[in-house]
Chain A
Amino acid sequence: AQSVSQHNHHVILSEAASLELGCNYSYGGTVNLFWYVQYPGQHLQLLLKYFSGDPLVKGIKGFEAEFIKSKFSFNLRKPSVQWSDTAEYFCAVNARGSSNTGKLIFGQGTTLQVKP
């Protein structure tokens, strides 16, 4: 069964600091990977996604993520965070293949607080 683990539960950074949020998944086959963001009081929105090809994917608002297959990881990065990046971030995975029914599993989430 697929699962997702996010290592950092609560991260506090100052503006302009660099960000890296960890995400590891558990599944032996091919996967689709996603990062979503949830701003306070809002629903989830997609930051970026990986399906195939270049393992370094770029998303909105300057975010990027790198898929490392050998490590089952899909870490989210941003070179310089802003106060407006304060939000909760979720990694998600769904398995691909003939038995894929579209089951989409999320990690526990990481709360990012950016201090001005």
Chain B
Amino acid sequence: RKEVEQDPGPFNVPEGATVAFNCTYSNSASQSFFWYRQDCRKEPKLLMSVYSSGNEDGRFTAQLNRASQYISLLIRDSKLSDSATYLCVVNMGYGNKLVFGAGTILRVKS
């Protein structure tokens, strides 16, 4: 079983749609959680950290469910510029390495 699992997609949605991604992680001792965005042939860039109480940043909402060991990302009012790969990332708590999911591809179409 992979340490961090995501649905690879692609998710093809029209502009203005709401889309949600889920991610599960294997280590219950994991300490911190993130969503990164990666554009084609570019480096990953931090989209948002994920806090236990859930958090929102504009059109983006992240949730953490420690009991079920899953993380979600909700994107409202999708824009063409949201098209990218969204990486679910977990700091498993041993060492300081990040463990990445394989990414979920989002394509927003006009």
User: Does chain A bind chain B?
Assistant: no
Q: Which residues of A are at the interface with B, using a C-beta cutoff of 8 A?
A: none
Chain B positions within 8 Å of A, measured between CB atoms, are: none
